[in-house]
Amino acid sequence: MSTIGFIGTGIMGRHMAKHLQDGGHTLLFCPHRSPTPGELLDAGGSDCATRRELAERAEVIIMIVPDTPHVADVLSGDDGVIAGLAPGKLVIDMSSISPIETKAFAAAVQAAGCDYLDAPVSGGEVGARAASLTIMVGGAPAAFDRARPLFERMGKNITLVGDNGAGQTCKVANQIIVALNIEAVSEALLFASKAGVDPARVREALMGGFANSKILEVHGERMIKRTFDPGFRIELHQKDLNLALSGARALGLSLPNTATAQELFNACAGQGWSGLDHSAMAKALELLAHHEIA
């Protein structure tokens, strides 16, 4: 069993950390933006005063924080993770951040004689709670093999995509697909509802055919029942699509439907809905239609 330093016990991270504890690992925490949940401390976890202390005491350091600047803050400085590293340790970033900056973070960790994996996840709070996350990994095969037993406590579909940065690139691709699927389901259910057909029954029928998807299953139900408490917030999906669109510009690539999805998220943000679940993209389309799906 390992001693693991875990930074980021938010909506998803708290469940991921608990699965590691349930697997017999000793967890150390350093609060990022909110206190460590009591359930994790009651299960044997303990808080460290600084990220440096956490890195000094842990064999493996896992981060899952909201954005690229947060990862930079966790790693850098006199009290950051890198300052506490000793050769042979493993740093795993499970946040969703810039693939370009990820390569720089990996180089800084490797300069300290340690391994680095970027391992963003997909599946939201539901997947984190059920330990069924998809985990997309970038890094050296030997480091991946070392981390795999830990990943298997948190997820089901675990893939080494390529070198450092490849995991984050894969996650950006994932977020493009998810956003466009949310838009498609929103439009379909809005069309049915506006036409006078029960959207719940339309969803039920579509789930038996080629149009079925996890988005239709989970987020279609959210749209109908108006349950937009966040599993994954709109503001975080905006961040991910910004990575997609800025990356596309750098590659000389057009992503027109990704841009449309981002504009719908922007419209939601303009209404004060940034903290709602990303399935609430439907609310922007409802504003245009002057009609609610439910």
Instruction: List residues with catalytic annotation.
Output: 171
Left (φ > 0), alpha (ψ -120 to 50) or beta: where does 235 sit?
alpha
Distance CA 2, CA 121 (A): 21
| Angle at which helices 99-111 and 68-75 cross, to 10° | 10
| AA letter at 274 | S
**Strand extents, DSSP E, the chain:** 3-7, 26-29, 46-47, 60-63, 90-93, 115-118, 121-122, 133-138, 155-162
Distance of CA 292 to the CA centre of its chain: 29
Residues 56 and 86: beta-carbon distance below 8 Å? yes
Q: Which residues pair with 3 in a beta bridge?
A: 26
Q: What is the dihedral of CA 210, 212, 213, 219, to 10 degrees?
A: 150
What does the angle CA 30 – CA 11 – CA 121 come to, to the nearest 5 degrees? 90
Q: Could you give the 3-state DSSP secondary structure of residue 280?
A: helix
